[in-house]
Amino acid sequence: MQVLYQSTRGKGEPVTASQAILKGLSDDGGLFVPTSIPKLDVPMEKLSQMTYQETAYEVMSRLLTDFTEEELKNCIDKAYDDKFDTKEIAPLHEADGAYFLELYHGATIAFKDMALSILPHLMTTAAKKNHAKNDIVILTATSGDTGKAALAGFADVPGTKIIVFYPKHGVSPIQEKQMVTQKGDNTFVVGITGNFDDAQTAVKKMFNDKALAAELDQAGFQFSSANSINIGRLVPQIVYYVYAYASLVRQGKISDGQEINVVVPTGNFGNILAAFYAKQMGLPVHKLICASNENKVLYDFFSTGTYDRKRDFILTTSPSMDILISSNLERLIYRITGENAEKCAALMQALSEGGEYTITEEMKAGLSDFYGNFCDEKETAEAIHEIFEKSHYVIDTHTAVAAGVYKKYVKETGDITPTVIASTASPYKFTRSVMDAISQGHENLDDFGLADALCSLSGVPVPKAVEEIRTAPVLHDRVVDAEDMPDTVKEILGIR
């Protein structure tokens, strides 16, 4: 069965998977969603014996139907190789009454590697399939992790350039060092003086700027996105939830068909949406637990039915979740309107123009799969401390938000369904916050000294990704205001 993709805002004809990946964003500003969600018709008995790569093929082939078996397997083999430091790719670690799904064993030690190691291969394959004549310019805003993972994925990939914008004072020192030391003749990293939402809004505007698209086309370029608004990011993320479930069956932790809960630390809503799609494909998921930090716009939305971005932006120790406009939520909104593109477009317009929207009671009923809560900074640090004390297991700040929210969920509901917590980054990415939570007396250490201290405390080796940037030279030092981002792009591409 062929799966096509249509815009959440309804304009334009449905497109193939490869066309949707290539475009990134629909011409009407909407996000591409599958016209139907196929069932994963492989017996769990079979899935539970598969490698990560084999699982990836089974899941992705159901959704990316215009890629041939050879094309898709080639993309998967190139993505999930020795860039990952474990053969399992996404292992599970049992601690404190839950299963932590470690999604940070890739090149940049964050979950974004899971999708961004395959996206360049999907995109260059899609470009060939669609006879694209232009070079692809990947334009991305990052709250810390997407940027580095996209840079690593696209570095020196022929026929592409990548430009990453990040909030200059809104990422951790390790995250920033990872980006500004990135090698590759086609990579460009730019700090902006605003926050992530400013960067993301400006990027979306550039995607929708017809005059800019014409200028680019004339110069032999076309934009595409590596953010989670690209369906080529979302589909690979579905894989690890299926793999986690199959791993639990294989290990005898659950029986085939038994439900699990999934907890996801959430900012842009892509990672938890992938879990929702996995459930739609037939994975036995009971509750999708959406964990927010103090920027609790999603918690408030699930509680009240009103999405309101008109609030102070708070810089927290979990910066990848410091987001007030959760782009991927639009895909869920489209779904709960009964796939009514007109309604969805009207709500998105209200958000853009007035800063908020409220869904109907009927739509709210469509959110029954979800539970939302949040952790403040103190609760986040306590979760890191508690899990280390109890289980001698070190988690990062984002995973700690998820673990803290899970504890609240159990207390509130009494639900003890087996639970997978998405562990989205290595603790080595946020060494100061992690060390502050579990130990004292290291105030004078820099981030690399803290990494060494964390290593001796936890026994977990310092990842290669951190060792490599310890002495790496800074190659990108450009900083601009958000309003100057379009001019910066033109300057980088030499079309001013």
- Helical (H) or strand (E) element with 286: strand 285-292
List the catalytic residue out of 23, 112, 161, 279: 112
Dihedral-angle region of residue 383 (phi above 0 means left; psi in -120 to 50 means alpha; beta otherwise): alpha
Cα 357 from Cα 336, distance rounded (Å) = 14
Distances (CA, A) of 392 to 37, 95, 404, 438: 40, 9, 17, 10
Report helix, strand or coil for 436: helix
Close Cβ partners of 431 (under 8 Å, ≥ 6 residues apart): 174, 447, 450, 451, 453, 454
Cα 334 from Cα 8, distance rounded (Å) = 6
112 in catalytic set: yes
Task: List, as one string, the DSSP characters of 155-199.
Answer: TT-TTEEEEEEEETTSS-HHHHHHHHT---TTEEEEEESS-HHHH
Residue among 234, 254, 238 nearest 55 (CA): 238
The overall longest dimension of the chain from CA atoms, in Å, is 61
Cα 386 from Cα 239, distance rounded (Å) = 30
Active site residue ranges = 112
